Amino acid sequence: MERPADAFKTISEVAEDLDLPQHVLRFWETRFSQIKPMKRGGGRRYYRPDDVELLRSIRHLLYGEGYTIRGVQRILKEQGAKAIIALVREGAVRPVVQSSAQPLARIEPSLSDDDTGDFAEGYDEAPVRPHSVAAGLSSADIAALQGVLAELAECERLLSAARA
């Protein structure tokens, strides 16, 4: 007998449905206050259909669009959970973020053949060149990595400023 679509789901059912480990769902509960599964005796979690849709939307933004957890938190704060769910359902590529903070510049990795960089010190091998890595990555993966690279550059800038 098949359960109705509006039935509550256990964490194992949601994890299987979203192709995520259960510990990721529990971690997301600590990072996104909008995720509030109902808890029964013994701490068993039961997710409402709206919770599952929000989790699906968060998963899409994190893994499909390359957002960071902080970026998704900002979007949820500014637009709300229902707006994010609707955007993902409609197939919108990127939510519009209204923020006073300046966006990080897009950073393109550029390693020349004679550039080993500071990170290569103490290693026997030269750093991996972007063209050798990019061949096996999807455009979403590359976009996500570029976002991480931009965040690292910002961290480096903040550390340099703190040291000065």
pTM > 0.85: yes or no:
no
Pick the CATH number of 9-90 from 1.10.1660.10, 3.40.50.720, 1.10.1040.10, 3.90.1150.10: 1.10.1660.10
Compute the distance between CA of residue 152 and CA of residue 130 in angstroms, rounded to an integer. Answer: 16
Compute the distance between CA of residue 131 and CA of residue 109 in angstroms, rounded to an integer. Answer: 10
Per-residue pLDDT of the chain (164 residues; tens, 9 = 90+): 566 767 889 999 999 999 999 999 999 999 999 999 998 888 888 999 999 999 999 999 899 888 899 999 999 999 998 888 887 787 765 555 554 444 433 333 444 444 444 444 443 433 444 444 445 667 777 777 778 888 888 888 888 888 87
Dihedral sign for Cα atoms in the order 45, 17, 72, 161 = positive
Which residue ranges make up each domain of the chain?
9-90, 118-163
Compute the distance between CA of residue 91 and CA of residue 144 in angstroms, rounded to an integer. Answer: 18
- Alpha carbon distances (Å) from 164 to 157, 158, 159, 160, 161: 11, 10, 9, 6, 5
- Alpha carbon distances (Å) from 96 to 10, 42, 50, 71, 90: 32, 40, 22, 11, 14
